[in-house]
Each structure stands twice: as structure tokens, then as C-alpha cells.
Amino acid sequence: MTEFRVAIVCYPSVGGSGVVATELGMALARRGHDIHFVSYDVPRRLESLGGRFKFHHVDVPLYPLFRFEPYILALATTLYELAAENCIDIIHVHYAIPHSAAAYLARQMLHENHKHDVKIITTLHGTDADLLGQMPSLRAATEFGVNKSDAVTAVSEYLRRVTVEELNVKRPVEVIYNPIDTQVYRPPENRPAAGSQVRRIVHISNFRPVKRIQDAIKAFDLICHAVPARLLFVGKGPDQSTAEMLVERLGLSDCVEFLGAVVQPDDILRRADLLLSTSERESFGLTIAEAMACEVPVVATNVGGVPEVLEDGISGRLVPLGCVQSMAEAAIEILRDPQKAQAMGQAGRKRILERFDQEKIVQQYEDLYWRMME
Ligand code: GMT
């Protein structure tokens, strides 16, 4: 078997694209490939996975002239040097902005200096194609970077469609769904019977405006009047302080907790009775899939690629965006009916095992690498 030498470029935060890049890279390394992670910080989940990994830090010089740091040039230089020294075969970037253009620059530098050729894969994750990539100030460079890649993948059919229809991407875009580590994201050995105990509702996100966490609070306000419940917020981000004010204004401080960012929230999910996802856009919905893998029923807004992950009425409920009343009604129905909750949880795990299990998805990426190298 041939092993590939791959540079994986990603954001290091706990956000979905960084998590997917990390999980994929570590799984490929376990299969014997030579994997190099490249970013401005060690990806959070990479640290938590332990074991040995090769990480290349992108050093951006600070200089008083710069109002903005020249990250893209520093990344291109890091990739060029890494590729030349380690004979890298593939640069696999996660999130197009600005990674695809930096990878292209690195490849041009290799050509210019008569080094070997590298292949570039761009994996689009969401806002790089359906929001930021379409902004006038970023659009042309995003399209260029993606078009110059040798292969382009999207994490859902929704994102593939948006990329083809709304970005001027001329290359075929292949859908490879996100991998879920079903050994880590697994149900508890024994889930206590729901009985009259307080139900735990979990929301996990980066608290950006697109996540609409105020909707989770308003829905919870209705839910907790019908079922004894607590709302646990996992994550951190710009909307936290407004959310905390809303919690206080609604008199919910005793039953809403902000737990902060958690790199690997499997334990929290195992103890959850429901996951609530209120996003206005979501190309895939990684936390939804992770909850399903733990047999936790999900109530989520019917947006983007979410219906490709969560089947309405089977592994949870899809509700209209912004309709707090529908969210609450769906949640109450599930929380009041432990048998239904259990059946939905089990159906969710079954779906994840069938379609999104890490081993199957990593195989799809490995097959893509093979095709590119041929
Ligand atoms: O959700 C975010 O804003 C973070 C973002 C990222 O790139 O880190 O997540 C995107 O990629 C995830 C992994 O593919 C997907 O599960 C998320 O749905 C997607 N977010 C959006 O489309 C808003």
C-alpha cells in the first residue's frame, strides 16, 4: 500500500471545520499516512486526542506597518517549505478562506523553484461558500482558490448545490459527509429511566449570530413550564453576554448554565436528554450528528444540510427557523415520552453508523487521494 504525505490546513478553534480536519488527519495517520497539520495554533481537538502528531506553526511577523497580519503569505511560505522539505503529495485545506489561495501560492512557488508538484484539495465547510465566499470583497479570490484546487469536496449535498449554483466554481464538487468517531460518541452503558427527573437540554455552538442562541433560551422558557428541565450551553462566542442578559430577564438563571467551550463534549452528550440546535444556517451540523451518535434525540431548525443528517420524526424533529413555539412543542413531546425519546435516540445512532461513521468517511477521502495521485 502507498502512504501519502499530506499537509492538512485548518483553523485551530473548536469550530466544526477544525474538528473535522483533526479527526480526519488523525484517522489517516493511524492508517499509516504521513500527516502534517498546519495552522496558527495547535487545533484544540488534536491536543485532546493525545498521541503523536506533526504540527507546523504558521508564524506571522508583527510589524507596526501592518494593520492586518499577512497570514495568507505566512501560510503559503510555511506550506512551500513544508512541501519542499517533506516531499508532500497533497495539501488538503479545510475551509476555503484563505486556505485555498495560500495553497495555490505555495504550489506556484514550488513550480517556480523547480520543486515537485503537489495536489490541492479544498473541503468546503459552510460559510466559506454560502456566506463569506459570496461577499463582494472575498468572492473573486475565493472562487479562484477553489477553481485552482485539483479536487473540491463539500460536507453536504446542500453545500455542493450552493457552491455550484452561487459560486462560479467550474470544477466538479464531490460530497463527502463529515466523519463521526462512533467509538467516542457512543451511548452510555446504562441510561437512567427518565421518570420525573429534571431533563437536560444541551445546546452546543460557537455562539455566533448565525446560531441564534436567543431562540434556544426563548424555547427553553416555554419548555421548562411544561417539563422540569435545565438548559446547558456548551461553547463560547460573541453572543454569550446578550444571552446571559436574556436568561436573567426571563428569570431563568437557576436553570440555565453556561459551561464554556468543551473540546470533546461526548460526556455531556451522554448525559443529555435532548440537543437543541437553533441555527439559521448549518451546512452539516456536526454537533447534531455527535448527539445522534450518543443516542440523544435532536430538535433542530430545518436549514441547509441538517435534513441530510437528521430525519424528521425518526431521529428527532426538524422545525421552522425562528419558530420558538414549534421548537418548544417538539421538545416537550419528546421529553414527555421516554419511549419515543429512546426510539429516536436509537434511530439516530443507527443512521450515524450507516452513513457518517469515521471509518467509512475516511475511506472516501483516501479513495479521493488515490484518484488524484493517479
Ligand atoms: O458553525 C460554524 O460556524 C463553524 C464552521 C466551521 O467551519 O468551523 O462550521 C461549519 O463546518 C462544520 C463542519 O463541516 C459544519 O458542521 C457546520 O454546519 C458549518 N457551519 C455552518 O455552515 C454555519
What pLDDT, in 10s, does the model give residues 120-133?
Answer: 999 999 999 999 99
Nearest residue (by CA) to ligand 1, atom 23, is 282
pLDDT number for residue 196: 64
> Burial code of 317-337, b = ≥16 C-beta within 10 A, e = fewer?
bbbeeeebebbbbbbbebbee
Alpha carbon of 336 to ligand 1 centroid (Å) = 31
Q: Which atom of ligand 1 is nearest to the CA of 13?
A: 8
Q: How many CB atoms lie within 10 A of CB 85?
A: 9
Pocket residue to mutate for ligand 1, from 130, 157, 283, 321, most atoms within 8 A of Cβ? 283
In 34-150 the beta strands, taken as DSSP E runs, fall at 34-39, 54-57, 90-94, 119-124
Whether ligand 1 lies within 6 angstroms of the CB of 178 is answered as: yes
- C-alpha 192 to ligand 1 mean position (Å): 32
Cβ-contact 69, 42 below 8 angstroms: no
**What pLDDT was estimated at residue 194?**
65
CATH topology for the 199-355 domain? Rossmann fold (3.40.50)
Distance CA 46, CA 221 (A): 36
Q: Per-residue pLDDT tens for 235-276?
A: 999 999 999 999 999 999 999 999 999 989 999 999 999 999
Ligand 1 midpoint to CA 179 (Å): 13
How far apart are alpha carbons 334 and 18 in whole angstroms? 32
| Ligand 1 pocket check for 156: Cβ under 6 Å | no
Domain ranges of the chain: 5-179+357-373, 199-355
Is residue 42 very low, low, confident or very high in pLDDT (cuts 50, 70, 90)?
A: very high
61-119, pLDDT tens digit by residue? 999 999 999 999 999 999 999 999 999 999 999 999 999 999 999 999 999 998 899 99
What average pLDDT does this structure show over 144-164? 97
Atom of ligand 1 nearest to the CA of 128: 7
* Cβ partners under 8 Å of residue 115, min gap 6: 83, 84
- Phi then psi for residue 312, to 5 deg, are -60, 130
155-210: pLDDT as tens digits: 999 999 999 999 989 899 999 999 999 999 999 998 777 666 899 999 999 999 99
State if residue 20 touches ligand 1 by the CB under 6 angstroms criterion.
yes
Predicted pLDDT at 328: 98
231, 201 contact by CB (below 8 A)? yes
Which residues sit opposite 57 in a β-bridge?
39
Residues 89, 92, 97, 99, CA torsion sign: negative
Q: Which CATH superfamily is domain 5-179+357-373 in?
A: Glycogen Phosphorylase B; (3.40.50.2000)
| Contacts with 60 (C-beta within 8 Å, 6 or more apart), sequence order | 40, 69, 70, 71, 74
> Can you tell me which atom of ligand 1 is nearest the CA of 159?
22
Ligand 1 pocket residue status of 16, Cβ below 6 Å: yes
